[in-house]
Structure 1
Amino acid sequence: MNRNKTALAAPIAAALLAAAVTTATPAAAAYGSPWHSAWGASPQAPTHTDWFPNWSEQGFRDQSVRQVVRAGAQGGELRGRLSNAYGKAPLRLAGATVAKSAGGAAVRPETVRTLRFGGSATTTVPAGAELSSDAVALPVQAFEQLTVTLWFQGPTGPATFHNVAMATSFRADGNHLRDAAADAFSAAGDQSFSWYYLAGIDVKDPAAPGPRRSAVVTFGDSLSDGFGATPGADRRYSDALAGRLAALGTPRPVLNAGIGGNKVLTDSPCFGESALNRFRRDALGRPDTAAVIVLEGTNDIVQPDGVQDRCTTGPRVTAQQIIAGYRELIREAHARGVRIIGGTIPPYGESGYWTARGEEVRAEVNRWIRTSGAYDAVVDFDRAVADPEHPQNLKAEFAFADRLHLNDAGYRAMAEAVDVNAL
């Protein structure tokens, strides 16, 4: 993975684009695999953020971490994928289980299964690596909630994680891999809105056709991540899009590859590697990616105009620089035979981030997305959620409190704006 910080004091040059091209493609992206993606999250380096506190910097020691996710595809068998992408040392896992959720930290006891790795209940994930478990027999339906519990006996050190989960994770001292009840996980301070080490759930359906590409990846920043949606309710726009596809009789997994605060062009110690540097892994590094919807660029525009700190530092960028970044993502997708759909950047006029300069850049970027023909298709998120009388603002009934992010209704409107035939 290319983790070089991208310099953008001048317009994007060939050197920047070449750096993105050399990003390594994960071995997991072997098209023709019988496994199909059911859930995934984009890994981030451990960091502390005031807006979303988490356990990533301290890691875990003799603790069980229980995490609840929603499967987006059905299958008779499943496997879990763990990521130590940002670990500085091997990750030693003392045990792992998967089960069907019974709500909160509780699980259905008859569904608890041990996750094994090469036949062993313990494993070590090398620093910088990802590891898949062996297949386990546990029939899963689309939209069913699964609970993965990881037990770390020794100290893990800082943890690879995903910050904005919009779902609750739990921890407890000691080994609680097979606890059905939530009691051990109910202590104050032992809940988090982030995911740790868990990168994906894949399923295999013996009744389904063989290897196929069907997954849709929603790639972007916090608007893809779902910040502002009801926590724990699975109401991100990716969830609403998956529901639409199922209701139309064309169910497909919709995988969320958003990272809150993420930028197209610049890496951040808090908000992940840039889109240019993580696109191959997070969007294309799955065996069944068929289409990617890109919605990113807001943070490239607004962060340089705000208070600069270690998380948001970076130069001001032009519309042409952002567009050059999009062109590189398009080239990467097409090289893999993946359709790529461009999403226009929604308005944020009543937020504290708005500036006249930023609005000019957003308007120019959106014109290019709509008219250039560079993407395989366009989804006009901007017009779907903007106030028709004040188009630089979000429609009031769609706006989260900060007027930058969306609420449940706004994310549903985004999903409804997608032409499913374009996927």
Structure 2
Amino acid sequence: MILAGTILGTGGLAAPARAQTAGAGPEAWTTAWTGSAQGPYPVGNPSAQPNQSFAFPDPAEGARDQTFRLVLRPDLWGRRARLRFTNAFGTRPLRLAGVHAGLHFGGAALVPGSNRPVLFGGAAEATIPPGGQLWSDAVELPFAAEPDAALLMGRKLAVSFHVPGPSGPMTWHAKALQTSYVSPPGSGAQGAEEGEAAFPYSTASWFFLDAVDMAAPAGTPVVLCFGDSITDGTASTMNGDDRWPDVLSRRLHATLGSRVAVVNAGIGGNQVVGPAEYSPEKPFPGGPSALARLERDIISLSGIRTVVWLEGTNDFSRNGNASFEAVRDGMRQGVERLRAAIPGLRVVGATVTPALGSTSAAHGHAEQDEKRRQLNAFIREGGLFDAVVDFDAATRDPATGGLKPEMVPDSTTGAAGDKLHPNRAGYLAMGMAVPPGAVLPKG
């Protein structure tokens, strides 16, 4: 059982958090947001990233006596929340202090009166060893009490925390596609401030925080979307929340209200079976392989009932050079492990979108497309998955075998696009292509 204030090391994670109840009555902790830890800053694939040299002059030293204000959108709101902080790829103990959670207003400002202190085992400070992670105590969110909770759908939470530092290498999720904020080095603890004056620097990434739970009715199903940059949202709209999991979320909430949650565990550049090894000393832009992160990014989370797995294109790129057989067997191994760890889990296979003709040096070649088609045939016909979502059919241009032309231009930068990552139009089509019955647990 994962208790608030319990440190989790790399070697043996505690029992899944989904088993812990939120308190007396029919509530349980339910995953409301994830931002999968992928490596030490600055190794990764951010999108629309501002210049970070003023906030973090020396990446090796990391954060130094400054405060982060991370902005994120919970897919579900509850009266209480808890936060999971991570030092997965740190090489020094990570000190946290002055942690707060409040309702985002705009920029780095919070709705006045909404900011609440967050504790760890009753203490205002905590230290996480290298490779570890830590759940906070429950924090009351009075603004999320019924009947106000329904009005919070789509609103964003601001999590602020002081890192006395220097932190050393910072564990991060590079591609947030959401603007967050950082105070200058040496500026001290600013998390209690509800204004924005203390946070001049912006970032398009999330640091040190990788999960948020909300107290929700016990049994609320969580659909976790697992994959690479096409799940992470490359080429979608900055601050627009129009990745395909976001589209799926809005569709499900439109009919089910708060009786479901959809969370995103994509990492730009991620592979099913590669790289063969990963460490803070030997990082890779796409993070650890999907198989290496199953425990942290799926099994240890709360209330996961369905996993939608979209991955493989990076394995078949010139960065991965994996065979079809290796990726097929990796998916089999991953699904077997997930089902063994989470009884009754529904695992949905998603066909891989086309990259033929991509302008990316690592993608777009005929051999990659041939392996992609082999993998898609296995996903559709191999009997491994409980259901199949056909993203290939939703995005492929029959005339060229590549992405449909209207899905190519980049939605954030206005650039020509790389013919690998769908834009908003493509992600909308993908999110609309998911049959709700395919992803919702049966019974």
Query: What TM-score comes out, normalization by structure 2 length?
Result: 0.83
In structure 1, the residue matched to 2:190 is: 176
Offset at residue 124 of structure 1 (A): 1.1
In structure 2, the residue matched to 1:365 is: 375
> What SS does the aligned partner of 2:80 have?
strand
Distance 2:438 2:44 in 1: 39
> What SS does the aligned partner of 2:182 have?
strand
> What SS does the aligned partner of 2:17 have?
coil
> What SS does the aligned partner of 1:101 have?
strand
How many residues are matched?
A: 384
In structure 1, the residue matched to 2:271 is: 263
Q: CA 1:30–1:121 in structure 2 vs 1: closer, same or farther (change >3 Å)?
A: same
In structure 1, the residue matched to 2:399 is: 389
- The answer to whether the 8 Å contact 1:100/1:108 transfers is yes
The answer as to 2:432 corresponding to 1:421 is no
Offset at residue 156 of structure 1 (A): 1.0
In structure 1, the residue matched to 2:348 is: 341
In structure 2, the residue matched to 1:217 is: 224
1:362-421 C-alpha deviation (Å, 9 max, x unpaired): 11111111111111110010001111332x211112223111101112111111111111
Q: 2:304 aligns with which of 273, 286, 289?
A: 289
> What SS does the aligned partner of 2:154 have?
coil
Unaligned runs of 5+ in 1: 1-21, 305-311
Alignment of 1:290-369 (within 5 A): 290-302=305-317, 304=318, 312=319, 314=320, 316-335=321-340, 336-337=342-343, 338-352=345-359, 353-369=363-379
Alignment of 1:2-401 (within 5 A): 24-33=12-21, 34-49=28-43, 52=46, 57-138=60-141, 139-140=143-144, 141-173=152-184, 174=187, 175-186=189-200, 190-205=201-216, 208=217, 211-212=218-219, 214-249=221-256, 251=258, 252-267=260-275, 269-302=284-317, 304=318, 312=319, 314=320, 316-335=321-340, 336-337=342-343, 338-352=345-359, 353-390=363-400, 392-399=401-408, 400=410, 401=417
- The answer to whether the 8 Å contact 1:220/1:258 transfers is yes
Distance 1:213 1:339 in 2: 14
Which AA in structure 2 matches 1:397?
A: E
Distance 2:257 2:44 in 1: 41
In structure 2, the residue matched to 1:308 is: none
Distance 2:14 2:391 in 1: 31
- The answer to whether the 8 Å contact 2:274/2:289 transfers is yes
Distance 1:378 1:108 in 2: 42
Superposition RMSD in Å: 1.9
Q: CA 1:35–1:70 in structure 2 vs 1: closer, same or farther (change >3 Å)?
A: same
Distance 2:125 2:43 in 1: 31
- The answer to whether the 8 Å contact 1:240/1:412 transfers is yes
Q: CA 1:415–1:113 in structure 2 vs 1: closer, same or farther (change >3 Å)?
A: same
Which stretch shifts more, 248-257 or 124-133?
Answer: 248-257
Q: CA 1:49–1:130 in structure 2 vs 1: closer, same or farther (change >3 Å)?
A: closer
Which stretch shifts more, 359-368 or 31-40?
Answer: 31-40
Distance 2:289 2:175 in 1: 16
Distance 1:334 1:64 in 2: 40
- The answer to whether the 8 Å contact 2:16/2:299 transfers is no
Distance 2:174 2:240 in 1: 17
Unaligned runs of 5+ in 2: 1-9, 22-27, 145-151, 276-282, 411-416
Which AA in structure 2 matches 1:260?
A: G
Distance 1:325 1:403 in 2: 26
Counting aligned pairs with the same residue, the percent is 37
Q: CA 1:58–1:384 in structure 2 vs 1: closer, same or farther (change >3 Å)?
A: farther
Offset at residue 24 of structure 1 (A): 4.8
